Structure 1
Amino acid sequence: MKQQQKSVLDKSSQILSKSEISLFRNSLKQNICVELLQDGFHRSFSEIFSLLSSDVDRRAVSDPGSAVALQTPLEEQWDKLETMRLHLRRAEQAEDTGSWTAVCDQRLVLGQYFWALEDLWLGLHFYHSCADREQGGRSRPATEARAGMADIYLQLGELQRAKQQAELCLHQAEEGGWLDSDGRPLRLRALRALWRIYGRLAEAPLAAEDHDEALKLLHEGHSIAVQSEDKRSESEACYRLGLTYQRAGDCDTAKQFLKSCIQMYDTLQDADGLGKSYRALVKSIESEANTDDTLQCLEKMADISRSNGLQPSLADALICLGNIYYRKRQYQRAGEYFLESFEVLCKLEDVSLLQRVQVLLASARAHSLISQHSADVGASWSAALRRLVVWKETRGRQGPGTESLLPGTNSAPDQQQF
């Protein structure tokens, strides 16, 4: 009897209920919608159903080969549907009890969850549903949602909407003194977003050569960057102003901003920033034909690039130094810089630039030899005469190899590199 009872119990435990069977028979969309309706979360059901319908419409009007058309339908993505179900249930429960900040918290979490490019439309939906609420719309999570919307609109290139949301975020953050989810002041986050937005707004007038309008926007961005207490943003704002003044032909003002930028990048120990700032400063100084300052600036740029392993920047600085000394007819010094740049470019395997530097090096070395030979011809001492005799006796036996142009090397460079 006991064995028979155990057998019956084992068989009954293997029988699935209707709800368990439906999990296998029905789609993800149907299971989640049915569960929400059965548990009484009608508003959550309506919202998810509406979003699923919007996804179908988006895919229907998109081009066949577009990114939207190639995405997996939202109704087939279990993790996203389950995340929406979970947090919308919690939001509806909080709404039923009048806990408006808790409602915004749950919707903020959903906005932050949908951060990938293909999901930005969902992120915007939940951010808006958090920030645009009549109850709770000025709470901490609603204010942070505006910062999230500013970031998304900036990413999508909708700059005026991004600016509007960042300004609203800044206003609400200053009123409430809010911190974001990571414990950082929301006011500073809004200021950094505004700085990026003004930088993007300046791109259109710059492309149209409207320097006055671009400078107006960049100055506004610079002022915001200073308020943001972020030295990296402030240094980048100075750099952009310096470049714009340079393009406008005001090299004196450009130098002022670039020098300020260099000081900040130096404090931040940002080698890349220092390299590009010195490169821009060189252009402003060169326009004044101030050779000494240009050389000093290039030497500093080369030192920074050399010590931080910035090989492309180092090659640029060395070539510029070589060209300046070449124009000054100091061919020996020019050859030294061209040779060092040649060695750097060999490591970078930049063939086109390597060929150019090879020609520059050969020209500088040839001029150096000609200058030395001419000086010996005009000299009256015995050492000069001996050098002329040696040169005359050996010139016919010297091959055309590259070793005669590369002081300090024992063999010609591999011709396959060129």
Structure 2
Amino acid sequence: MQQKSVPDQQSEILSQSEISLFRNSLKQNICVELLLDGFHRSFSEIFSLLSSDVDRRTAIEPGPSVTVPTPLEEQWDKLETMRLHLRRAEQAENTGSWAVVCDQRLVLGHYFSALEDVWLALHFFHSCADREQGGRTRPATEARARMAEIYLQLGELQRAKRQAELCLHQAEEGGWLDSDGRPLRLRALRALWRVYSRLADAPLDAEDHDEALKLLHEGHSIAVESEDKRSESEACYRLGVTYQRAGDRDTAKQLIGSC
């Protein structure tokens, strides 16, 4: 029987760090790696998010139709994506490259697009847009547009309105495009029109036609400014229907006919 050479024997001996990959959990390996490489802020942020995930899942009341999401610490792809981009963001922060910091956080916000990950998306979008340094860069402005859309989907209209207005103000200053090449200013206007349209629902339900019309007129002006013909047509139609409910049939007929 041929004896193995020394190099062959050495290649079979695993290092302590390699052994830890088998012994430790995924969360432990990623956190230890960040600490050993000096990325202390990234470690703290991931550790905090993992703790928040535990609290969120603990707060879910069990039931036959309730599905408890998979623990974040068991989802390798999400943890690895956070590790990668937070490292890059921290490296950029150390050199004062604030636009790069915000861009890495914007990437993370877009990555967590699934419904169950909305809380993570909002965390990274906020951490991108609400920064003292970099909070008025192009990536931060796009993060505000995305938050406006998310809050609108969640029915948190005042938060959506605030983010859309901030995005609009910053986009008008910078003249920026979003990641898909669309003007951020127009994206903010479209979100803002939808906010005003939704805000009009409550006074309409209460038969407060004057307040509903006030909000819908504001929304219509924004829709026209957005250069989105579909939004403008929807805004015009909603105004027409509301005038009809208020008893002004002539104005209603004119508006509905024009759209």
- Find 1:137's aligned residue among 119, 132, 135: 135
Q: Describe how 1:75-86 pairs up with structure 2 within 5 A.
A: 75-86=73-84
- Find 1:155's aligned residue among 148, 153, 173: 153
Distance 1:65 1:14 in 2: 50
The Cα of 1:94 is off from its aligned counterpart by: 0.2
**As a proportion of its length, which structure holds more helix?**
1
Letter in 2 for 1:179: L
The Cα of 1:212 is off from its aligned counterpart by: 1.0
State the partner residue of 2:99.
101
State the partner residue of 1:195.
193
Letter in 1 for 2:150: I
Distance 1:199 1:32 in 2: 45
Distance 1:66 1:76 in 2: 23
Query: Are the counterparts in 2 of residues 192 and 224 from structure 1 also a CA contact under 8 Å?
Result: yes
State the partner residue of 1:229.
227
Q: Go from structure 1 to structure 2 and tell me whether the alpha carbon gap of 1:105 and 1:85 turns closer, same or farther (over 3 Å shift).
A: same
Mark the runs of 5 or more structure 1 residues left unpaired by the alignment.
262-418
Q: Go from structure 1 to structure 2 and tell me whether the alpha carbon gap of 1:68 and 1:9 turns closer, same or farther (over 3 Å shift).
A: farther
Q: Go from structure 1 to structure 2 and tell me whether the alpha carbon gap of 1:52 and 1:69 turns closer, same or farther (over 3 Å shift).
A: farther
Distance 1:68 1:122 in 2: 20
Distance 2:155 2:196 in 1: 12
User: What do you get for the CA RMSD once the two structures are aligned?
Assistant: 1.7
State the partner residue of 2:166.
168
Query: Are the counterparts in 2 of residues 59 and 68 from structure 1 also a CA contact under 8 Å?
Result: no
The Cα of 1:68 is off from its aligned counterpart by: 7.9
Letter in 1 for 2:205: A
Letter in 2 for 1:85: R
* Deviations 1:199-252 (CA, angstroms, capped at 9, x unpaired): 110111111111111111111111000000010111111111111111112111
Distance 1:4 1:73 in 2: 48
State the partner residue of 1:45.
43
The Cα of 1:67 is off from its aligned counterpart by: 8.2
1:216 aligned to 2:214? yes
Higher relative contact order (CA 8 A, sep 6+): 2
Distance 1:254 1:57 in 2: 51
State the partner residue of 1:177.
175
Q: Go from structure 1 to structure 2 and tell me whether the alpha carbon gap of 1:23 and 1:68 turns closer, same or farther (over 3 Å shift).
A: farther
Q: How many residue pairs were aligned?
A: 259
Percent sequence identity over matched residues? 85
Distance 2:65 2:110 in 1: 22
State the partner residue of 2:29.
31
Letter in 2 for 1:4: Q
Query: Are the counterparts in 1 of residues 60 and 68 from structure 2 also a CA contact under 8 Å?
Result: no
Calculate the TM-score normalised by the size of structure 1.
0.60
Query: Are the counterparts in 2 of residues 152 and 162 from structure 1 also a CA contact under 8 Å?
Result: yes
1:4 aligned to 2:3? yes
State the partner residue of 2:109.
111
State the partner residue of 1:251.
249
- Find 2:124's aligned residue among 123, 126, 132: 126
State the partner residue of 1:405.
none
Distance 1:68 1:171 in 2: 41
Distance 2:216 2:55 in 1: 40
Distance 1:57 1:97 in 2: 34
The Cα of 1:5 is off from its aligned counterpart by: 5.0
The Cα of 1:13 is off from its aligned counterpart by: 2.0
The Cα of 1:12 is off from its aligned counterpart by: 2.9
Query: Are the counterparts in 2 of residues 127 and 146 from structure 1 also a CA contact under 8 Å?
Result: yes
Structure number, greater radius of gyration = 1
